[in-house]
Structure formats: C-alpha cells, structure tokens
Amino acid sequence: MKKYFGKFGGQFVPETLVMALQQLEHSYLTVGKSRKFRQELGRLLRTYAGRPTPLYLAKKLTARGGGAKIYLKREDLLHTGAHKINNAIGQALLAKMSGKRRLIAETGAGQHGVATATAAALLGMECDVYMGSVDIARQAPNVYRMELLGARVIEVASGSRTLKDAINEAMRDYTASFETTHYLIGSALGPHPYPAMVRDFQSVIGKEAKGQFAAAEGGVPDALVACVGGGSNAIGLFFPFLNEKVKMYGVEAGGDGNGHAARLTGKGKPGVLHGMKTYLLEDRHGQIADTHSVSAGLDYPAVGPQHSLFMEQGRVKYAEADDSEALSAFHLLSELEGIVPALESAHAVAFALKLARGMGRGKSIIVNLSGRGDKDVDHVRKIEGER
C-alpha cells in the first residue's frame, strides 16, 4: 500500500509502533482482503448494522432551497446512529480475526466510542475508550451508552481535553499494548495504513449512494456534500465518485468565528500530528491550536491526509458552516423533514441548502447525513436556553 497521498500522510510514529503498524497493514492486506472476512463483514453490515441505508429525496428541504434536488444518504439510520459503525465493525472484525482481544478507541462526539463499544460487545472483545473531559461533559448520554455496552470510558484531562488529546492518549496506550490490542481509529486519519483502511471501510456509503442515485435519477449527481472533522464520512461518500464528473464539497466547522476548526478553508498549513503529515491548525511556534466547534465531532485541529491532497488538487472544494448556521439547519431539517440530524451533519445540510439555491432546478445533490441528532438534543437545548 502507498504510505502517502501526494506529500501527505506517512507514518510519523515512535519506533515501537512501526512494527505494530506493519503488522496491521499486513493483516489488512491478507485477512482483510480474504473472502471469509469480506463475507462476514457484509453479513454483519446487512443483518446487524442496517445496511444498505436509504437515499432519500428531501422534497421539503429541496423546496426550501428552491434549486437543486437534495438527496440525503441516511447514515443516521444505522445502528448506533452514525456512519461510524461501518468502520468500527470492519476494524473490530479484522482485529478479532488477527488474534487481538482488546479494542481501544478515541472519541469526540461519542459516536465512534459507542460504535466501537458496540462492535466490541458484538465480537466479545474488551474495550477502553478515551474521551476528553470537555466532550464527556457535552456528550454525557453517549458516555453512559458506552458503559452500558460494557466499555470503560477513560477521561482525558490533558491539553485541550477534546478529541485531539483523546487520540494522544489512545496512541500512548497502543504503544504499550499493541501485542494484544487493536487501536480502532475512528476517522480516516492517523499514521499509515489507517487513512486508507478507514476510507475503504467507509466507501460502502458512496458505493451504495452511486447505485441508488443511478436507479432513482439515472447517471450521477451533480454534487456531493459532507461534513469534515477527520473526514471519514466525507471520504466514504466521495471516494467511489472520484473518477466521475461530480463536484464535491467538504464542510468544515466554522465554530463561533474565533478559534474555529477550519483547517482547509482557514489558517491551516501543513504540519505533523497523530502520525501524519497533513493540514493542521497551529500557533506561530508550531504548537497545535485549540479548536472550537459546537459539535464535538468536528472539533479537531488536523484533517485526514487525503483531504489535504484533494484540497491542493482542487478535486474537492472545502467550505465552512459556523455554529449558528449548523444550529439553524439542525432545527430546519427537524421541522421540515422530521429528521433530527447530528450537529456534525447539520453543517453539511446548512451548506447544501446554500449550494442548492445557487444551482439550477434540474440538478441534484447528495448530502451525507452522517449521523442522527439524539446525542445533541440536550446540548442544543442547553445552549439555546442560555442565549
């Protein structure tokens, strides 16, 4: 497998992990490509996770936009409520079949932690999830869910106490535990082979959407829209369309206008964090910046390395939606379509609405509705109560 996407990616890890990652790559290329693995993964995604997910034409949202048709890829309907389960089951099954008995994961919004805890329960594996204390406070229901599923949630109180620091702590654990443990990274980021492997597990989104759109409208859509934290739901939707004449938009969190999480549209520049060379936010001394977004899942100062390449190539356009736009979309989709989106996905909806408005009526957009908003209901109620 190629270690780099253009000049991005790589394997910037302590020596201890080099061997562990080589083993992981080997497992992925042998076990992960085996017929037995593919069949079992397919079976679990169908019978357990709820694939395929529908591609839904959101008529009232389309009417509100007044332009292109807006289709929603309903990843929010998956078991555990987000696209994260695609990757969690894929990696957990790979780990299990490679002889590991324990899973560790980081989580921001809690969705990936819940997905990993679920996969661990399903496959009978131990599970520890690292979570920043800021995120624990704003995503309390997901903490309890992980515990219900038999996982241990380990609070991370260092640094900015969010996703970035949870990844640091999970990597430290993995450095000491890789012989028995698989680190189940939740997005298409980290050292090689994670970005490629996670992308492959999430590509099921785009593959399905492609077939479903062709059946509904014929051909391919004019544009794809997805939110980008680490970037796994976006790359999962985009990847199978890369060679098609389709415009692609990745939507970053604009936050509150200040220390936001716009790495590709804002002040980001290439750097090295979490084992990869990629665009990231740092201060003028090279220290990684604290980010802020209303959605914990987008609160991340770096981005998956293949997105950095897509941005430099111009293959994908990156845009941002700020906190208030995301909150408006959160309400709008709930009221118009009866779908409460995750705040992360609400960023994509907010942008897609603007995009649709600027496109003609004959055009179509697919938005990846990457997760449902149940986890955000209390949080939104609280922050709106304060306003």
Partner 1 sequence: MFSKTKGAAFMPYVCCGDPNPEFTLKLAKALAQNGADAIELGIPFSDPIADGKSVQAASARALVAGMTPKKAIGIIGKLRKEGIGVPIVAMTYYNIPFSFGEEKFAVELKKAGAQGLIVPDVPIDECGPLSAACRKAGLDLVQLATPNCSDGRLRKIAARTKGFLYAVSVVGITGARGRMDARAIRLVKRAKRMGVKVAAGFGISSPAQAREFEQAGADGVIVGSRLADLYSRFISGKLIGERRALAAASKFAREMKRACLG
Cis peptide bond N-terminal to 141, omega within 30: no
In whole angstroms, how far apart are CA 65 and each of 177, 346, 358? 51, 15, 9
What is the token pair recorded at 239? 């990847």
Q: Report d(CA 358, CA 68) in Å as an integer.
A: 8
**Which listed range, 65-73, 126-134, 166-174, 359-367, lies at the site for partner 1 (CB under 8 A)?**
166-174
In terms of CB distance, is 10 or 250 closer to partner 1? 10
- Number of neighbours of residue 16 by Cβ within 10 angstroms: 11
Q: Are 280 and 301 in contact (CB under 8 A)?
A: yes
Nearest distance from C-beta of residue 174 to partner 1, angstroms? 10
Cis peptide bond N-terminal to 191, omega within 30: no
Q: Which of 5, 8, 10, 45 binds partner 1 (CB under 8 A)?
A: 10
Nearest distance from C-beta of residue 311 to partner 1, angstroms? 19
Half-sphere exposure of 324 (CA within 13 A, CB side): 4
Residue 35 binds partner 1, judged by CB under 8 A: no
Binding characters for partner 1, 303-342, by CB under 8 A (x = yes) = ----------------------------------------
Q: Which amino acid is at 25?
A: E
Q: Which of 197, 142, 149 is nearest to 166 (CA)?
A: 142
Nearest distance from C-beta of residue 165 to partner 1, angstroms? 8
In terms of CB distance, is 83 or 277 closer to partner 1? 277
Q: Report d(CA 203, CA 169) in Å as an integer.
A: 28
In terms of CB distance, is 179 or 386 closer to partner 1? 179
Residue 27 binds partner 1, judged by CB under 8 A: no
The residue behind tokens 């980008």 is: 228
Q: Report d(CA 271, CA 284) in Å as an integer.
A: 12
Cis peptide bond N-terminal to 52, omega within 30: yes
Assess whether 363 carries a catalytic annotation: no
In terms of CB distance, is 15 or 386 closer to partner 1? 15
Residue 245: burial class (beta carbons within 10 Å; 0-12, 13-18, 19+): exposed
Q: Are 23 and 180 in contact (CB under 8 A)?
A: no
Q: Which of 271, 328, 331, 336 binds partner 1 (CB under 8 A)?
A: 271
Residue 16 binds partner 1, judged by CB under 8 A: yes
Residue 52 binds partner 1, judged by CB under 8 A: no
**Start-to-end CA span in the chain (Å):** 50
Which H or E element spans position 320? strand 317-322
Q: Which of 35, 36, 47, 176 binds partner 1 (CB under 8 A)?
A: 176
Binding characters for partner 1, 133-152, by CB under 8 A (x = yes) = --------------------
Catalytic residue among 27, 69, 75, 106: 106
Catalytic residue among 84, 96, 164, 375: 84
Assess whether 106 carries a catalytic annotation: yes
**Which listed range, 84-92, 116-124, 281-289, 355-363, lies at the site for partner 1 (CB under 8 A)?**
281-289
Q: Are 328 and 234 in contact (CB under 8 A)?
A: no
Assess whether 84 carries a catalytic annotation: yes
Residue 159 binds partner 1, judged by CB under 8 A: yes
**Which listed range, 13-21, 31-39, 133-141, 214-222, lies at the site for partner 1 (CB under 8 A)?**
13-21
Tell me the catalytic residues. 84, 106, 370
Q: Which residues bind partner 1 (CB under 8 A)?
A: 10-16, 18-20, 158-159, 164-165, 168, 171-172, 175-176, 179, 270-275, 277, 282, 285-288
